[in-house]
Amino acid sequence: MLSTLFARRLEVQDTATWTPDGTIVVQRYRGAAGEREGAIVLVYTADGDRGTSSFAAACLGCTYRAAKSSHSSRLTEKEAADLANTHAAGCRALDRGIPAAPDDDQAAKIVRDRLQSLRMDGTNRHYVYVSDFHADRVDLQRPADFIKMKMLRLVQDEPDFLSARPTTSGTGTQFLVLPHPPRTRTR
């Protein structure tokens, strides 16, 4: 009985120092929640597949996520920092702690849901980059290899949804979300 009394407790990570798996946090802002500590807003980049870095912002107290600007371009570090700072100044959410990491099935669903959102225009193929998952990284908590593995699995399981081919440089795989198949008319 004495050994359980003095057993070590698992170290609880602090949101002020936490880094989601697969990301590199470059800045943190603290929200203003009145008398209590506000939530942390992260500015981060992720291990990606493009030569230029793009950034995202995510609040650990509410559902705020930003990975693109209003004109749909990827965020620079300064743009992500400005968005995070603005959000932190107005967000009254309390620090909810580190989000629970999803199990592999839930994480695979996050990947598929993101791909489905890229398919929404319905008429064109859409090239997929790991940076397309930036807004999801805090919730996903997985490295780029996990995302690529799940996309390869979707290529096998749903070839009318996602396809893959070698990159033009021959050093990787390029993924494409395919448009919805044309509807056939029935009489």
Average pLDDT over residues 155-173: 88
Counting beta carbons within 10 angstroms of the beta carbon of residue 78, is it exposed (0 to 12), middle (13 to 18) or buried (19 or more)?
exposed
pLDDT at residue 167 is higher than 50? yes
Q: Which residue has the higher pLDDT, 170 or 175?
A: 175
**Quick one: fold of 104-177?**
Arc Repressor Mutant, subunit A (1.10.10)
> Residue 176: its pLDDT value, please?
93
Of the pLDDT bands very low, low, confident and very high (cuts 50, 70, 90), residue 186 is low
Angle at 120 between CA 62 and CA 52, to 5 degrees: 70
Mean pLDDT of all residues in 161-180: 86
What's the pTM value of the predicted model, to 2 decimals? Answer: 0.81
Please write down the HEC assignment for all residues of the chain: CHHHHCCCCCCCCCCCCCCCCCEEEEEEEEEEECCEEEEEEEEEEECCCCCCCCEEEEECCCCCEECECCCCCEECHHHHHHHHHHHHHHCCCECCCCCCCCCHHHHHHHHHHHHHHHCCCCCCCEEECHHHHHHHHHHHCCCHHHHHHHHHHHHHHCCCCEEEEECCCCCCEEEEECCCCCCCCCC
CATH 1.10.10 maps onto the chain at 104-177
Place of tokens 């936490």: 18
When pLDDT is cut at 50, 70 and 90, the band that residue 125 belongs to is confident
- C-alpha span between 93 and 31 (Å, rounded): 7
Residue 177 Cα to chain centre, angstroms: 18
pLDDT the model gives residue 48: 57
- Condensed to tens digits (0 to 9), the pLDDT of residues 40-98 reads 999 999 865 555 688 999 999 999 999 987 776 889 999 999 999 999 999 999 888 89
The predicted pLDDT at position 9 comes to: 46
pLDDT for res 157: 96
